Each structure stands twice: as C-alpha cells, then as structure tokens.
Amino acid sequence: MAMGGNPAENHPCGFKWVIEAKKKRGAKLVCIDPRFNRTAAVADHFVQIRAGTDIAFLGGLINYILSNGLYHEEYVRLFTNATFLVKSDFSFGNGLFSGYNPASGTYDKSTWQYQQDGSGHALQDPSLRDTDCVFQHLKKHFSRYTSAVVSEITGASVEDFERAAGIICSTGRPEKAGTIMYALGWTHHSFAVQIIRAAAILQLLLGNIGRPGGGVNALRGHSNIQGGTDHGVAFDKLPGYLKSPTADQQDLKHYLMENTPKPLSPTSMNYWSNYPAFFISLMKTMYGNHATLENDFAYHYLPKADRNYSWVYLFDDMYQGKLEGMLTFGMNPVANGPNSNKMISALSKLKWLVVADCFETETAQFWRAPGIDPGEVDTEVFLLPAGIFAEKDGSFTNSARWAQWKWKALDPPGDAKADQEMLARIFLKVRELYQEGAGAFPEPILHLSWPYSRPQDPPLEEIAKEINGHAVADVIDGKGEVVAKVGEQLSTFAHLKDDGSTSCGNWLYCGSFTEKGNMMARRGRSDPSGLGMYHEWAWNWPLNRRILYNRASCDADGRPWDPTRVSIMWDGTRWVGDTPDYKADSPPGAGLGAFIMLPEGVGKIFAADFVEGPLPEHYEPVESPIKNPLHPEVSSNPLVKRFVSDKDGYANPEDFPIVCTTYRLTEHFHFWTKHITVNSLLQPEFFVEIPYELAKQKGIKDQDLVRVTSARGSVEGKALVTKRIKPMRVGGREVWQIGIPIHWGFAGRVKGPLANLLTPTAVDPNSFTPEYKGFLVRLEKV
Amino acid sequence: MAIKGLEIRDISATRYAALGISKVPRMTKLIDLSTCIGCKACEVACMEWNDLPVDETYRATGGYQTIPDLAHNFWNLIKFNEVDNGNGLLWTMAKHQCMHCENPGCLRACPAPGAIVQYTNGIVDFVQENCIGCQFCVTGCPFNVPRISPKNQKVYKCTLCSDRVAAGLEPACIKACPTGCLQFGTKEQLLEYGRHRVRELRSRGFKDAAIYDPPGVMGTHVIYVVPYGNHPEVYGLPADPRIPALVSLWKGPLKTIGSTIMLGGVTAALLHYLTYGPMEVKPDTDVKKQR
C-alpha cells in the first residue's frame, strides 16, 4: 500500500523492490492519493481521496478488519496492548477525548492511562471482552468509520474503498505479509502523527510489524535525513532519541527519573530502562574529563528548553523581531518553509544571516525576492560556499537504518569547504572569544571535548569513532569479566555504563565502528537469508538488526508465521537468523514481550504518548471545504498550532473553494536541481495540475496561464489540464482538488513561483511540521 | 579487424561479401511497459553517455513530457499519454528510440554507400561521415526515428550504445533504469523473459498482454512487453509497422527495373554509337551563353 507517498515518483530506486515483489511474488500494489500519480500508473488498484482525509480512510480499513474478523488474532493477543485495560473514566465523544480543557486547549491525559496493579503493571483481559480493554475501545471508536462515512469524507467511492480494503486486509492471514510506504503525504498535515498511528494500528491488527515484508515504512526524502534524525537535529532531541532537558528538569536526577520508563508489564524488557547509561555516555563524549560523577556529568552545561524552539516557531519569533542572527546549513527556509512571504519578511528583520550552501539559494538572496526592495533590507548576508555530498566522506543512513560509509570523490571547488570545517572554524573562533573572557557562561564552550587530529577540519572518520564510543575505563559486565579494555572501541550498547566509564556519542550507533574497524564501510555480498538482508553490507542500527521487533515474526512457540520468509526463529536454545531484536537466549515459553523498547512489552494500539488523543480521529485540515461530518463542532485538530500574525491569514471555503496540495517530481530534488542543466531541461517550468472538468468549467485550456491564490499569497503558472484528478463528492457537495509541484523559486537556472507562497503556518502539535498539503485556494485564468 | 559483434552484416548502397562463420549473439533491449514509471533516468543516461548537446529551447508541452519529440540531439524519449480505455484511466509511459529492425527500412532506403550499417550483433548504426543528408532513411523508417541535424545536415539516432556493447557493457539507458523495466541480452533470452512477463500480466488480468516484436520488419532488436498488446498504438507504437512500399519498390523490383532500364539505355547508346557514330558538335554552338 502506497499512501501518503508516491514512491515511484520520489523514491524510484527503492521502488525497484516494489516492482520485484510484483514480478516475483505476485504482490499487489494499492495506491491511495489525491492524484493518479506515477505510482498509480503501475498499481493494481488506485483510489483517489481528498487531501487530508487519510485518517478517515485508514479508520475505515481498521473498521473493515474488525467488523469482518480479518485481524491476525494470535498476533494481536501476543504482541499488542489489545488486552490492556484502560481507566474506566476514559471516554470519547463529539470529537474530543476525556480530559480536554477548553481554556488551555490541551488534554489532561490521566484518564488515558491503564488500570494498574500494586506493582504498577497494567491489568489485562486475555479474553478481550472487558469493555475497558483496548480492543473494545478500538472497536467502538472505529465503528463510526463505515464505508459510507469513508466515502462521504474522502470522496472515494464505496466500491473503490472496499476493493482496496479487500486487498490490504487480506494480509491479516499469518502466511501473508503487507507493507505500507508513506512519506510527506502523511507528515505534512496538522494531524500527521495520528495518521501514522492509524497505520501502526492497522499493521498491528494485521500482524504485519516485525516481519519480513511487513512494516510501516517512512520513505525518507534525503539520502541522509534518517542519519540527521538519529543524531538529534531537532530542538527537543539529543542524539539517539534522548530528550533535550526541559526547564523543569534542573538537575540530573530529576531529568533521568522523568525519562527512564518503568515497566508496565511483568514480561516487559523495557530497554529504555538503560536511559541513564545512554545519556551519561553521551555526556562523556561531549565533555570528556569535565563530565564527572561529582558534577552530575556536566548536566548543568546543557540548555534547558523553556518552550518550543522548532524552526517554524523560531521564524515566527524572527518575524516579531526577537532574533538577531541566524546560521543556516543544508536548508533553504525561504523556499521550503510555509508562507514564504512571512519567511522573507522574517529574514529581513535579522541583523545578519549566514547561509552555507553550494548554490546561491532563495534564502541567500531573499533580499532579491520579487516585490522586495533590496534598499529596504538591512540584513547583512554571508554566503559560505559549501562542498556537496560527493566532496566529503562520511556516512548516509537510509530509510532502513543502514549506515553506509561513502568516500570523497573530489575536493570542493575554489573556496568551498565541507560543512564540518565551517562548523569547526566557527566553534574554534567562538571558543577563542570565550577564552578572552567575553562570555557569561564559558564552561559549556571551553570544556567541550575537541580531540580531533585536525581541529579546524575534524576528520569524519574520527567523529564516526567518537559516535560509536569507547571504554573510558575497563568495562566489566555482570559476571565480572572485562568486555572492553580502557581505550578500546565498544562493540555494543549493552556495554554502556551510567558511571562515566564509557563514552558514546549516539548509543544507537554503538557497534558501527568497533575494534574491527569501520563496519559501515563493509561491502560483503553474502545473503544466507535469501531475503536480501545482506548482513555484511554496511551496518544498520541497532546492532545490525535488519528488521526491528523481529520476535513478532514468530508465533508463541518461536516458529515463523511464514516458514518461507524467516527473519528469526527459536532453535531450541537460542534465536537464530537476523540479529534478534530480543534477548537472544530467552525461550518462547518465558513470554518476554516482543516490543522490547516499550514499557508495555507489546505494540501500542492505544497510546497515550501523543497530545491530541490515544486513538487517531479524523480531523479536517485547518482549511477545509467542509465541516467535519463526524463532529462539525470539533472540525479540525483541537490541539493544532495556528500561527497568527498580519501575514498569517486563513481561508474560508466560500472565498477559497478549491483544495490544493503540493508535491514533488521525479525530475527534481527539492529546490536544488533547478540549478542544474539536465534536471531543468526535464522539468523546466512551474505548472498547476487541474482536473479536466474544472478546467472546462473555468474555460482553462492546457498551457493557459492561471493564477492560484490562497489567504497568504498567489502564484501564476501554466495549466496542466489532466484527467488524473477527478471531481469528487464530499460532504454532499462537489469538491475540486488541484496540485502544485514545489520545485521552483526565484533562484536558479530555471525560475518560477515558490509553491509555499500559498501554504499556511499551521503545524502538527506533536511533530511541529506544517500543513503543506490540503489547504484552500482560488483558481482563475490570467 | 572489427570488434566482435561489430563486424558489418549489412551496409547501405554497397555490395558486401558475406562474413565469416562465427555466430554472434543478436543483442536486444526489452522494455517492459508494465513496470515503467516514467522516471526519465534513461533519457538522462542517454544524454550524458552520448554527450548530446542540450537544446535550450525545449519547453513543456503539457503532461509530464517536456521534450516534444525525438531529435537529432535527443535519441531516447519517454512519451506520456493519458488514456481512458473504458477500464478506467491509464497513464502510459513508453520509451521510444530506434528499434534496430532486423530488416531496417532506413538501411534499405539509404543511397549513400556505408552511411547505414547493420552489425552482426543486430545493432543498426548511422555512420555520419558517409551520410549525404538526403533523409531517405527518414522515409524508410516505419517508426519515424531518424532526425536530421540542422547544423550539419546529417542524420542521427540511438546507436544502442554500440560502443558500450562492443566493450561488453549494457547500453546506458539500461544501466540507469531503476525498476528493471529495461533489460538487455540476446534476443532468445529476452523473448523467453518476455513470455514469462506476459504470462504474469495475463494472470493479473491483462488478457491481451503481448510481446511487441513486429514481423513486418522481421522483428526488432528493441522489443516491448505490452500490457494492452491488442492496442500498441496506446503506447505510441505502430500496430503493424512495415517498410514503406516506396522503399521496398525502389530497392526491390524498381531497382531491378531501373537497372534494366539503365542498362538498356547504355546498350542503346552504344548501339547508336556503333550504328551512327559520334555526334558532331558545330563550332558555333555558344555553350557559354547558355550558362
């Protein structure tokens, strides 16, 4: 199932495996999208839905599974929290879960918790009949998502929906497996995280998590965005998905207590109980000898976030004149941020701006944007020429968590430098200023560990070794044996300690660069599994486990659900096959939970982790042509963050009746390749995809110039009139959708309007990603 | 000595002795239209390997196809087409290039000695240094492939990367294809693979799936797997391509008749000369004035 993503278009190299599954296994491909796209062109079944109605569609699938008994029952009992009992006062009604506080606009989550026994373990009902159990809540919650309701909300016909449901839900049979591929089509919504939650529930019900051929697969948009995420590039994360300290976590003890979960089941391995070992090893990497038991491992050096500092929030601050300067690496916010006009105005309020890039991007020349008078902009802009990926070594981590080492092909041209050299030089200069006594709180800078052989240009291999980690003192295991001598590279995060005897820059990457060398640089081609696992090709986290939670690929006795596709299996003494994501010698009879990272020990159908509810619910996009048919009074996500300023307008459907969605094309990579000749030739011009019937109604012909206007801005481009977007009936009325590819801007070899002139600054309350897809516009012929 | 596989099997407007006895595999490209995603990697690979100069004047013409047609400097084009065939919408993406016919109409039509050759491995290649720019090959091609360069009046088309193939490499387009839609091998191998694909497609409900290997040109060295095999024209492929009658006539019976007439003319002139002797030119004929 390709939904919320267009893998043939945007991940053509990965899509070869879809084609191979079709050819070799007779796999069926179902494509669900607002447009008949390149993936749809080779799909077995295509369903058109209105942009932003994914939860309704997925909710319909969940209901279809439950009402037709198509779930993988043994899997659900063994590996999910379907049996867990939720507190009796939990409820849902009229679009809101229990605990909503209208004054603050937030939830008190106390009713979303499990009923617990004296030792803190959740109560369970193996029969699944208790009205408080997760399974019954699930049934009740999704019973509203009938085929007719799905059709009314999404615009898909009942027949199209049910045909898709028939194919997808057939994978609940134990010998079958089904996978989901998604991308920005799911993440670019004001309820994005809940869409992915719905997908997780669907796959848990069908028994498709932890199995070869299963999973909910995020197709990442950059060669190394997975690596970036793993290493904590977001404001609220530290490397390895550790949490950034918050303002109320002023001391280490408090911080560790709040981030180290307690098991919710007696059979839970609860691997995050090792949080202190991961965190303190990170502090040893950052501060070396300056991180000691006595000074709480330099915890007080870390900033404590008092609020949200994700980048959309920062640009809002900037627009309000609260920021002085900005450094931007590997990012072009004028082009890829929402509401470009606001981005440009925000940058013009800075005193200085540093852009490191290999091209002169829109951000680097924002003062030359159409409609801006450069004389009015006082910002001093520095453009640092950066080397590109082929001009440095390092690793790429792909969507399957494989870190693959790469080698430099050539030196950066002219004065261009690799990012690490620019960062290192800036750091060393800042440190020099602190050494001269300029700073208020110098220790976090002065004490930062900087052990590289070339301080001005740290070799990436040395950084990779540092990320892997080493023994600061002899590491002794539970049996009293030395498992790593002082100075040695560590081989596994199981050896990490919370006493300062280990250093590790990212616990997930422990094992990537061991005493045996750079595991990421391996290129072994043997594949005894026959499933394409290639365990000696590069290295993936965690510990070269190709499939996460692979214990769930076997039944209660440790036998694979599908003997023809074995991930791991119990051989009588231990788990063999892929690296087990499990205690390797724990017999099936012991019943240790398969989901070792979760306090429950099982996969979460019901999850109190997110801000707007423990179960996904369909909410309309912030700008929608209709009121939510399920609960018109709570139409969109009650917890959505809508930014408000004189540049942040929001549309009503009377004035802006057309749904618009943005997307990417095979021929281009973001806002980058419009600087390159061949890509520019293959897609030279911005265009607007318009349904044939709508074009006819408006007297628009193919190639005509059209204008698209939202409450924020407007763009002009050539019409691409197509039958690949059909008219829809939604909420009892006719609704039109149009589509806009994003790749152009005012910089580059070919130019065109920025698609994000149109998009709203409304963000998902969990991930803080803007709603780039499914907003309202007006369309007219120029 | 020619490189293995690149010995000349047939050559335009020239009598050429049959080659030696060694059997060379006939190399073939297969395009599986059921797995093409229109990514244009083949177009880019073709442009880059053949170092084709980019023509800056091309612009979008609607759809995702932004280059309107094959050109003297663009030899590999994916044509996009939206078709409503009654079973719902189809969005076809079909790669077009020289078909490397077993019986090449271009070569048959070409009057310039050595301008078009067919190698023993099946590749039909244009030799621009021998090309006279007459464009008879354009008339002779049932697939409308050759294109004349406005710069040098020579004709160009896909070479099936004869240079790469001679070195044991696959053509650039095949190297670049991410989905395996493009395959390269001997004709026998690929026909077998194609039949396998056709069976798979039929089991998926494409009851008319077929291999496109048109007999009108004695088969081609670029073959297709076509899901709607009964309607190849949906993908821009001619249903029954044949060498135009004019070319067949000219190079077949007409050539003989022409030769006979020409020979007759020469014989008659000789007889006339023998019978009547040379014609005498009068000295007052003003040749210069006539010019």
Determine the average pLDDT of the residues in A145-165.
98
Q: Return d(Cα A630, Cα A627) in angstroms, integer.
A: 9
Report CB contact under 8 Å: B82, A12. Answer: no
Residue B81, SS3 per DSSP? strand
pTM of the model as a whole = 0.94
3-state secondary structure of A206: coil
Helix (H, G, I), strand (E, B) or coil at B194: helix
Whether B4 has a pLDDT exceeding 80, the answer reads no
Rama region for B113: left / alpha / beta (φ>0; ψ in -120 to 50; rest):
beta
- pLDDT score of B54 more than 70: no
Q: B125 is in which domain, residue-wise? A: 8-242
- The owner of tokens 């307690």 is A262
- Distance, in Å, from the CA atom of A499 to the CA atom of A294, rounded to the nearest integer, reads 11
CATH classification of A632-781 is 1.10.3720.10, yes or no?
no
Domain segments of chain A as ranges: 2-85+145-219, 311-400+411-446, 561-593, 632-781
B91 and A41 within 8 Å at the Cβ level: the answer is yes
The number of domains in chain B is 2
User: Mean pLDDT lowest for which of A365-369, A404-408, B247-251?
Assistant: B247-251
- Determine whether the interchain pair A12/B178 forms a contact, defined as Cβ–Cβ distance below 8 Å: yes
B237/B252 same-domain check: no
pLDDT-wise least confident of A16-20, A101-105, A744-748, B264-268? B264-268
Q: Is A443 exposed, middle or buried (0-12, 13-18, 19+ CB in 10 A)?
A: middle
Query: Quick one: DSSP state of residue A386?
Result: B
Q: Which of B242, B257, B277 is the last residue of a domain?
A: B242
pLDDT at A579: 95
Q: Say whether residue A102 is in contact with chain B using an 8 A CB cutoff.
A: no
Between A593 and A330, the more confident residue is: A593
Record: contact B204-A44, CB cut-off 8 A = yes
Q: What is the per-residue pLDDT for A516?
A: 97
How far is Cα A548 from Cα A603, in angstroms, rounded to an integer?
Answer: 12
| Same domain for B156 and B45 | yes
The pLDDT assigned to B3 comes to: 66
Q: How far apart are CA A401 and CA A404, in angstroms?
A: 9
Residues B141, B213 share a domain: yes
- Residue B2 belongs to some domain of the structure: no
Per-residue pLDDT tens for A190-210? Answer: 999 999 999 999 999 999 999
Pairing of strands B8-11, B116-119: antiparallel
Nearest-Cα distance to chain B for A702, in Å, is 7
How far apart are the C-alpha atoms of B210 and B202, rounded to whole Å? 9
What DSSP element (H or E) covers A8? helix A7-10
Question: pLDDT of A93-106, one tens digit each?
Answer: 999 999 999 999 99
Amino acid at A441: F
Residues of B in contact with A667 (CB under 8 A): 40, 66
Tokens of A424: 């290192």
Q: Which residues of chain A neighbour B87 with C-beta distances below 8 Å?
A: none
B113 located within any domain: yes
> A390 phi and psi, to 5 degrees?
-80, -5
Clarify whether residues B140 and B73 are in a common domain. yes
Omega cis (within 30) before A632: no
Calpha distance B211→B194 (Å, rounded): 6
Where residue B254 falls among pLDDT bands split at 50, 70, 90? low
- Give, in order, the Cα–Cα distances in Å from A737 to each of A49, A364, A708, A728, B75: 10, 33, 12, 8, 36
pLDDT at B267: 76
Q: Which residues make Cβ contacts (< 8 Å) with residue A594, sequence separation at least 6?
A: A78, A79, A210, A549, A551, A552, A582, A601, A602, A603
ipTM (interface predicted TM): 0.93
Q: Do A665 and B179 touch (CB under 8 A)?
A: no
CA dihedral A296, A299, A300, A304 (to 10 degrees): -150
B270 half-sphere exposure, CB direction, 13 A CA radius: 6
Nearest to B54 among A44, A677, A722 (CB): A677
Give me the percent of chain A exceeding a pLDDT of 90: 97
Q: What is the pLDDT of residue B289?
A: 47
User: Which residues fall within 8 angstroms of residue A510, CB to CB, at 6 or more apart?
Assistant: A468, A469, A490, A491, A492, A493, A495, A496, A504
Work out the pLDDT band at B271, boundaries 50, 70, 90: confident
**A9 contact residues in B (CB cutoff 8 A):** 37, 39
> Hunting for tokens 């019900």 — which residue is that?
A205
Which one of B47, B48, B91 has the shortest CB-CB distance to A36?
A: B91
Say if CB A150 and CB A57 are below 8 A apart. Answer: yes
Measure in Å the smallest separation between the Cα of B128 and chain A Cα atoms. Answer: 26
Asked if A622 and A653 count as a contact pair (C-beta separation under 8 A), the reply is: no
The strand pairing partners of A357, in sequence order, are A385
Q: Is B50 found in the same domain as B34? A: yes
- Residue B273 and residue B207 share a domain: no
For residue B3, being part of any structural domain is answered with no
Residue type, A492: T
B56–chain A nearest CA distance, Å: 7
pLDDT digits (tens, 9 = 90+) for A631-669: 999 999 999 999 999 999 999 999 999 999 999 999 999
| AA letter at A756 | N
DSSP A91-105: -EETTEETTEETTTT
CATH of the structural domain A311-400+411-446, one choice from 3.40.50.740, 3.40.50.10490, 3.40.50.410, 3.30.420.40: 3.40.50.740
Rounded to 5 degrees, φ, ψ at A137 are -60, -40
Strands A470-471 and A402-406: unpaired
DSSP letters for A575-627: EEESPPSS-TT--GGG---S-TTSTTSSB-SS-TTSTT-SS----B-SS-SS-
The answer to whether A16 contacts chain B (CB < 8 Å) is yes
Confidence at residue B8, expressed as pLDDT on a 0 to 100 scale? 86
Are A19 and B181 within 8 A, CB to CB? yes
* Token code pair at residue A17: 């495996």
Q: Which two tokens stand for residue A9?
A: 């278009």
Contact indicator for A491, A509 with CB cutoff of 8 Å: no
B58 touches A at CB < 8 Å: yes
Identify whether B164 is part of a domain: yes
- pLDDT tens digit string along A104-126? 999 999 999 999 999 999 999 99
Q: Does domain A2-85+145-219 have CATH number 3.20.20.70?
A: no
Give the residue from B242, B260, B280 where a domain finishes: B242
pLDDT of residue A428 exceeding 50 = yes
CATH label of the domain that carries residue B269:
1.20.5
CATH number at residue B78: 3.30.70.20
Mutate to test the interface with A, among B35, B90, B196, B225 (most CBs of A within 10 A): B35
AA identity, residue B51: D
* Predicted confidence band of residue B290 (pLDDT cuts 50, 70, 90): very low
CB-CB neighbours of A299 under 10 Å: 22
Tens-digit pLDDT profile for residues A595-626: 999 999 999 999 999 999 999 999 999 999 99
Give Cα separations from A381 to A355, A360, A371 (angstroms). Answer: 8, 11, 19
Asked if B20 and B88 sit in the same domain, the reply is yes
Q: Which of A309, A404, A314 is nearest to A350 (CA)?
A: A314
Cβ neighbours for A606, distance < 8 A, ≥ 6 positions apart: A81, A84, A86, A112, A134, A137, A138, A614, A615
What is the mean pLDDT of the segment spanning B24-48?
A: 95
Please report the residues numbered 208 through 267 in chain B whose beta carbons come closer than 8 angstroms to any beta carbon of chain A. Answer: none
The answer to whether B82 contacts chain A (CB < 8 Å) is yes
- CB–CB of B63 and A19 under 8 A? no
Q: Is residue B1 part of a domain?
A: no
d(Cα B242, Cα A419) in Å, to the nearest integer? 59
- Asked if A291 and A297 touch (Cβ cutoff 8 Å), the reply is yes
User: Does some domain include residue B126?
Assistant: yes
> What pLDDT, on the 0 to 100 scale, is given for residue B287?
46
Q: Does A718 touch chain B (CB under 8 A)?
A: yes
Please list, in sequence order, all residues whose beta carbon lies within 8 angstroms of the beta carbon of residue B196, skipping any fewer than 6 positions away. Answer: none
**Phi first, then psi: what are they for A485, rounded to 5°?**
-80, 155
Q: Is A690 in contact with A722 (CB distance < 8 Å)?
A: yes
Give the residue from A360, A329, A323 showing the smallest Cα distance to A345. A323
With an 8 Å Cβ cutoff, is A24 touching chain B?
Answer: no
CA atoms within 13 A on the CB side of A701: 1
Best CA proximity match to A51, nearest among A665, A777, A779, A634: A777
Same domain, B230 and B257: no
CB contact under 8 A, B44 and A38: no
Q: In terms of domains, do B254 and B112 share one?
A: no
The residue of chain A nearest to residue B38, with distances taken between CA atoms, is A38
Q: Quick one: how far is CA B143 from the chain centroid? A: 7
Residues 6+ apart with CB under 8 A from B262: none
pLDDT above 70: residue A212: yes
Residues B19 and B125 in one domain: yes
**Do B238 and B251 fall within a single domain?**
no
**Long-range contacts for A454-463 (Cβ within 8 Å, ≥24 apart)?**
A455/A424, A455/A428, A456/A421, A456/A424, A456/A425, A456/A428, A457/A417, A457/A418, A457/A420, A457/A421, A457/A424, A458/A420, A458/A424, A460/A392, A460/A393, A460/A394, A460/A395, A460/A420, A461/A393, A461/A518, A463/A420, A463/A505
Between chains, do A44 and B35 touch, taking CB under 8 Å as contact? no
* Separation CA A673–CA A680 (nearest Å): 7
Asked if residue B280 and residue B178 are part of one domain, the reply reads no
User: H-helix or E-strand containing A776?
Assistant: strand A775-781
Q: Residues A169, A173, A179, CA angle at the centre, nearest 5°?
A: 55
Q: Is B38 contained in some domain? A: yes
